[in-house]
Amino acid sequence: MKQIDKYTNKKILVLGLALSGVNAAKLLHKLKALVTVNDYKNLDENPEARELVNEGLRVITGGHPSELMDEDFELVVKNPGIPYSNPIIKRALEKQIPIITEVELASEVAESTIIGITGTNGKTTTTTMITEILNTERKAGKAYAAGNIGTPASQVVLTATDEDEIVLELSSFQLLGTPSLKPKISVITNLYSAHLDYHGTRKEYVNAKLEITKNQTEEDFLVYNADQTELTELVHQHSHAQLVPFSRKKILEKGAYIKDDAIYYKDEYVIKVEDILLPGKHNLENALAAVAVAKLMNKGNDQIKLALSQFKGVKHRTQFVRTFEGRKFYNDSKATNTLATINALEGFTKPVILLAGGLDRGVSFDDLIPAMEKHVKAVLAFGETAEQLLETAKRAGIEHTLKVVDVEQAVPEAYKISDPEDIVLLSPACASWDQYPSFEIRGNAYMESIERLIQTKQEED
């Protein structure tokens, strides 16, 4: 970690805890700042706040009192999820006090090369792919996945050195507070409309994403999805970095692209598409972005091929679980809407037994019908939307449908009707909250059920 005196004896407010706030406060304390932490949760139900109190920090809990801003703070480090309509943030803006997020703070003391990844979809998978490739057959140093992926950057910078890389997943919320962040390589996976309740307009959301390249110069690189016309125009207008495109649909003169069912970088063959373990067109785009970054970081094709041919995916995101008696099981519990389930289905060429269902949000499942007609041989449905999904499946011409109680019952029932080479896919198209506290718990229940099924079958044999 770089030793800087920028924050020595500066009065700084850390607003909001969770992992990013706790680690930002600890880092500022190490940098000899005069830190005040404010979190909405009361102290008696706030172990993170109690931990900071024990380390000697000033902590105020139980609300966000706007009178805090009567103090002469010189900086606010804001939890990304706290909106700019928050009373303290509004007061800080009125007083022209700078507001940053934890990733900005971490970048100021990082010794490592920073690779930043943003985009509407695919950030976590692309971040993880890049990290896996960079760490494959590595002799010195390490690539760390950090940021929005779950590990705070301000924790990683404490140990990462100049031999390492920090592969930083960046949300639009985080990027709004990064006035000096300057990744050596930036990636924008794609741009769609999202988080408009936070940003207000699509333009503001897009502008937040473009913050990732704002400080880049011609010595840096921006990897972007050239299949999106809007994104291509935006990066040419706003970025000063060297532009490195990737495309799933067209052959490029530079960057990463598909030709003859293989990924090429510039004019160099890298890997066959069929050798990439993770299915789906969207994951192929993630792989293209990861290949571009890997080549910019001088990784060899053998290392890239080895990493991508073994990469099972991020947990609960079209994650390959295992093969049993020729059936391949995939966990896509993160698919909480129909678009995500369609993307998952389109990634398979073998017949799919689809496990779906969950919280009823009053939405139609009609847009699933084309993907069901093409890819699905059976549907097992559970939760509040079970009847609606089974009706959708019947309209898609799927004869084999079954209502089950939950994911745990769905797994053995799916096995009973499956054949070797079938895909058993949990991709619910619904949130989990009618039966499970989170999509993670739902996905874990699915994977545990697979293990129980296999154990039972082996005992029977």
Mean per-residue pLDDT, 298-324: 94
Alpha-carbon span 81 to 75, nearest angstrom? 18
Question: What contacts 448, CB < 8 A, 6 or more positions away?
Answer: none
Alpha-carbon span 168 to 146, nearest angstrom? 5
Q: Which residues of 430-460 are buried (b: 16+ CB within 10 A; e: fewer)?
A: bbbbebbeebeebbbbbbebbeebbeeeeee
- Does pLDDT of 121 surpass 90? no
357: left (phi over 0), alpha (psi -120 to 50) or beta: left
pLDDT of residue 249: 95
The most confident of the ranges 148-152, 197-201, 306-310 is: 306-310
SS3 (DSSP) at 193:
coil
Measuring CA to CA, which residue among 333, 354, 370, 334 is closest to residue 446?
333
Neighbours of 111 (CB within 10 A): 14
Task: Compute CA 405 distance to the chain's CA centroid, rounded to the nearest angstrom.
Answer: 30
Q: Which of 120-129, 165-174, 238-247, 300-309 has the lowest mean pLDDT?
A: 120-129
Measuring CA to CA, which residue among 207, 204, 257 is closest to residue 227?
257
Give φ, ψ of 458 to 5 degrees.
Answer: -70, -35
Alpha-carbon span 427 to 316, nearest angstrom? 9
Q: Mean pLDDT across the chain, nearest whole number?
A: 95
Alpha-carbon span 198 to 85, nearest angstrom? 9
Percent residues over pLDDT 90 in the chain:
90
- Does pLDDT of 167 surpass 80? yes
**Are the beta carbons of 297 and 134 closer than 8 angstroms?**
yes
Alpha-carbon span 18 to 25, nearest angstrom? 11
Express each pLDDT in 341-392 by its tens digit: 998 999 899 999 999 999 998 989 999 999 999 999 999 999 999 999 999 9
Express each pLDDT in 82-91 by its tens digit: 999 999 999 9
Domains of the chain: 11-100 (3.40.50.720), 103-310 (3.40.1190.10), 319-460 (3.90.190.20)
- The whole-model pTM stands at 0.85
pLDDT of residue 142: 97
**Confidence label for 92 from pLDDT (cuts 50, 70 and 90):** very high
Residue 219 has which token pair?
Answer: 């010595």
Q: Let me know how long the chain is.
A: 461
Q: Are strands 11-15 and 75-78 parallel, antiparallel or unpaired?
A: parallel
